[in-house]
Amino acid sequence: MTSLYLTVDSAIWYIICCVSLTLLAGSISILIRIFLDSRKLSARVFAFINTLFAFLVFVILMDCSRYVSPVEDRPFSSFQAMLFDLPWYFYAGVEVVNGVLLLICFRDNVRYRKEYLTGDAVIDAINLLPEGISISDMSGSVRLANLKMNDLCKALTGENYIDAKRFWNYVADEGKEQGGTYLLRTPDDRVWIFEKDRLESDGNDLEQITATDVTERFKIIDELEAKKEHLEDIQKRMKAVTDLSGDMFVAQEEADARAALHNQLGQVLLMGRYYIEHKDSTDPEMVYLATRQMNQFLLGESVKPYSGEEEELALAVNMAGSIGVKVLIEGEAPKNSKIRKILADAVTECAANTVKHAEGDTVNIDISKDLKTVIVITNNGKPPKGAVTESGGLLSLRKSVEEEGGSMRIESDGAFRLILEF
């Protein structure tokens, strides 16, 4: 009851036949793929044997279906009858073996396609390109065209891409020419640039047409053109601001120069007055040099007023002494050169103000350092009659302090106190 011919028209029979047909179709497909990929001889022989194996099983099954037919004259040999008399599970086992071989071929083919470049891989890669590309002979017969080029042809002409020459003529007629290339806008409002090049392969002349999406680039160009007038207006305003900034810079420089000149001139005048009143305690050489240098500066013969050759803080103390003001410093002077320069300017300004406004002769400087450097400057003169107005030297001093990141405040209630913090 297990003979193959006894299972004809049963469920087992149809299952075996369907599996055999599936294995045969799969084996043929793998065999064709291996030959197209130009695989090695061993792979071709193995795939061919597997296909032949599947084909023989399928033929036996088909012959067996005729063996049990009611035709009296059955043209079958004893060998065929022996094959039909074999149990059905024998053929089922053969199909299992055939299926295993087919899986081996399939796995080997997948591995090969991953490790080696095949024709299908090239075609798949070309089809995945976002640009359109086609290659045709000189008559326009298409040798290769990717999906994007075919889609563009259908969108523009309503036809499939089968004649490259006719398509290029359409592009040349409808597109906007730009140095041998043509711009075209598709119905979906995308902008494409088409270009044609001449190629040569195996002695044959070919033509390559490429299409590149330049929509984003054109959007930027359109936006720039739309804003051209606005940009020109901005440019004019920027030029006006630049000119104004230059004028403001020059004005500020002139103001700083006037303030410096005012301070230096005041020092020289006070020094001269003190020398006249106290010749015995004043160095005439310093008075002479300072006065001479100031005169040369006012006459345009020098680039700056007298500044001496000593270190700035020491010079400021000496200059204060030359106008009769003693400077007493309590604490360590700052080592930062910029802060020392600010302190020197403060000594010069406070010494002059002590003589002119407070009628004093001593300036006290207390310097403390913790998280901040704090400089407190007082004098022994009369207290201010009201709030001290910042102008000239004091205003210039505040600017220098704040540019260095410090702060300055003036206290005039009961006594004059100038406090600098850095």
pLDDT tens, position by position, 261-272:
566 666 667 767
Q: Residue type for 369, please?
A: K
Contact criterion met (CB below 8 Å) for 350 and 392: no
Choice among 75-89, 186-200, 326-340 with the minimum mean pLDDT: 75-89
Which H helix or E strand runs over 40? none
Q: Rounded to whole angstroms, what are the CA distances from 92 to 4, 11, 25, 57?
A: 10, 13, 17, 10
Q: Which residue, 82, 116, 150, sits at the end of a domain?
A: 116
Q: Give the pLDDT score at 78.
A: 77
Q: Are residues 95 and 192 in the same domain?
A: no
**Core vs surface per residue 372-388: b (16+ CB within 10 A) or e:** ebbbbbbbbbeebeeeb
Which residue, 58, 90, 116, sits at the end of a domain?
Answer: 116
What is the Cα Rg of the chain in Å?
52
- pLDDT computed for residue 346 by the predictor: 92
Do 89 and 154 reside in the same domain of the chain? no
Burial degree of 34 (CB within 10 A; 0-12, 13-18, 19+): buried
Does 204 lie in the same domain as 333?
no
pLDDT class of 7 with cuts at 50, 70, 90: confident
> What pLDDT does residue 36 have?
79
- DSSP character string of 207-247: EEEEEEE-HHHHHHHHHHHHTHHHHHHHHHHHHHHHHHHHH
Flag whether pLDDT at 305 surpasses 60: no
Are 355 and 282 part of one and the same domain? Answer: yes
What CATH code is carried by the domain that includes residue 297? Answer: 3.30.565.10
* List of residues 6+ apart from 25 with CB closer than 8 A: none
Looking at the structure, do residues 271 and 343 belong to the same domain, yes or no? yes
Percent of the chain with pLDDT over 90: 26
In the predicted structure, residue 107 carries a pLDDT above the cut 50: yes
Is the same domain home to 145 and 293? no
Does residue 73 register a pLDDT over 60?
no
The mean per-residue pLDDT over the stretch 362-389 comes to 91
**Strand pairing of 362-369 and 326-330?**
parallel
Q: Of 223, 257, 287, which one is at a domain's C-terminal end?
A: 223
> Around Cβ 44, how many Cβ atoms within 10 Å?
15
| Residue at token pair 């913790």 | 370
Q: Which of 320, 265, 274 is nearest to 293 (CA)?
A: 265
Poorest-pLDDT segment among 53-62, 118-127, 151-160: 118-127
Same domain, 165 and 38: no
> Is 232 a member of any domain?
no
As a whole-number percent, the residues of the chain with pLDDT over 70 amount to 81
Of 411, 420, 287, give the one whose Cα is nearest residue 366.
420
Q: Using N-to-C axis directions, what is the helix angle for 41-67 and 78-85, rounded to 10°? A: 90
Position 37 confidence tier, pLDDT thresholds 50, 70, 90:
confident
The predicted pLDDT at position 417 comes to 94
Residue 63: what pLDDT? 81
Contact 326, 364 (CB under 8 A): no
Show the domain range for 17: 4-116
Altogether, the residues listed in the chain come to a count of 422
In a domain, 47, yes or no: yes
193/105 same-domain check: no
Please check whether residue 337 is in contact with residue 302, taking contact to mean a CB–CB distance below 8 angstroms.
no
Q: How many domains does the chain have?
A: 3
Average pLDDT, the chain: 82
- Does any domain span residue 231? no
Least confident of 104-113, 122-131, 222-231, 322-331: 222-231
Determine which helix (DSSP H) or strand (DSSP E) holds 163, and give its type and residue range.
none
98 in the same domain as 76:
yes
Task: Give the model's pLDDT for residue 418.
Answer: 94
> Are 206 and 262 in a shared domain?
no
229 part of a folded domain: no
The closest alpha carbon to 152, from 190, 125, 121, belongs to 190
Does residue 233 belong to any structural domain of this protein? no
121 in a structural domain: no
pTM comes to 0.38
**Where residue 196 sits, what CATH number does that domain have?**
3.30.450.20
Taking residues 353-365, what's their average pLDDT? 90
**Do residue 332 and residue 201 come from a single domain?**
no
57 inside domain = yes
24 shares its domain with 66: yes
Break the chain down into helix, strand, coil percent, rounded to 5. Answer: 60, 15, 25
Please report whether residue 122 resides in a domain.
no
pLDDT at 409 over 90: yes
CB atoms within 10 A of CB 245: 10
Which residues are CB-neighbours of 165 under 8 A, at least 6 positions away? 136, 139, 140
